[in-house]
Amino acid sequence: MTVTDMSQGKRFFASENVYLPHIAIIEKVIDETPGVKTFHFNFKDEKLRKEFSFKSGQFAEYSVLGVGEAPFCISSSPSRSDHLEFATQQVGKVTNALHRLGVGAEIGFRGPYGNGFPLDFLQGKNLVFVGGGIGLAPLRSLIWNAIDNRDKYENIDIIYGARSPDDLCFKYDLDTWDKDKTINIISTIDREDKSWSGRVGFVPKVLEEVAPSASNAVAIVCGPPVMIRFTFPVLIKLGFTPEQMITTLEKKMTCGIGKCGRCNIGNLYVCRDGPVFTYAQIKNFVSSEY
Ligand code: FES
């Protein structure tokens, strides 16, 4: 299976100019960790608000007027459509500007772009989510989507980690999933911490200890490059084939629509051919790029 042939969500361009964003209003801001915020938003245009659609795993370009734009996945689920969400870490000019915005502020939005997760391929399978840090953002869109369509999937395992308890994102989701008897979730932190009574250890190590079965399963992985790099060999050891391993990348994207040529890994464009890839598609580039 490749994940380049999936139909995309419905796009709405404000005009012939594909770089012209739609205006969206921030409705809520959540402090996830000291450097990460989640923004809830909705389009200013009533019609667009009603008709916009996207797929879990797709991304968009978000802009702050006069500052610039940056790509992030849509972190909410299409199965919960009263508003949209994205999460971003404060790492540069655009994200600094976004982090200064509050409820009522306007942002620009272009998208949705990219392929999204292959829902048809995932249906009827055991889903093994492996996430680290803010890498849970794209996974949570699919996790909520799977929960809202629970009968379409078999077991759901989530292994999620961060450096410290403070660095765990979406704690409210982790709590909710922890209470859901149909989900097996394990949260871990890298090093012992007085405030933490849960699991301790790097995500790939915990994954190896938990050892989810590869039978009829797909692993969906997203996190820091070092986590991704060490997670794939563990999955292979557990019996997952490269086709059963999926990840989503956000690397180096600028235009978001296959025009600037900045986001290539090998002969693939992350924005146009991804951002969701099977390990089979990217394994030749993982050691050097991820
Ligand atoms: S971001 Fe411009 S080609 Fe991919």
**Which residues are CB-neighbours of 194 under 8 A, at least 6 positions away?**
none
**Which residues are CB-neighbours of 260 under 8 A, at least 6 positions away?**
254
User: Cβ(70) to ligand 1 under 6 A?
Assistant: no
Q: SS3 for 243?
A: helix
Shortest-distance atom of ligand 1 to CA 260:
2
User: Cβ(259) to ligand 1 under 6 A?
Assistant: yes
User: Cβ(269) to ligand 1 under 6 A?
Assistant: yes
User: Cβ(249) to ligand 1 under 6 A?
Assistant: no
> Which class does domain 22-113 fall in?
mainly beta
Domain ranges of the chain: 22-113, 119-289
pLDDT, tens digit (0-9, with 9 covering 90-100), for 68-87: 999 999 999 999 989 999 99
Average pLDDT score over residue span 158-181: 97
Average pLDDT score over residue span 7-18: 55
The closest of 199, 178, 177, 196 to 188, measured between CA atoms, is: 199
pLDDT, tens digit (0-9, with 9 covering 90-100), for 126-164: 999 999 999 999 999 999 999 999 999 999 999 999 999
User: Cβ(214) to ligand 1 under 6 A?
Assistant: no
User: Cβ(260) to ligand 1 under 6 A?
Assistant: yes
Look at 2-11, 62-71, 107-116, 171-180 and tell me which has the smallest mean pLDDT.
2-11
Shortest-distance atom of ligand 1 to CA 271:
4
Shortest-distance atom of ligand 1 to CA 254:
1
Shortest-distance atom of ligand 1 to CA 253:
1
What CATH code would you report for 119-289? 3.40.50.80
pLDDT, tens digit (0-9, with 9 covering 90-100), for 223-276: 998 999 999 999 999 999 999 999 998 777 889 999 999 998 888 999 999 999
**Which residues are CB-neighbours of 229 under 8 A, at least 6 positions away?**
286, 287, 290
Q: To which residue do tokens 């629970």 refer?
A: 150
- pTM (predicted TM-score): 0.92
Q: SS3 for 281?
A: helix
User: Cβ(261) to ligand 1 under 6 A?
Assistant: yes
Write out the two tokens for 166: 């403070």
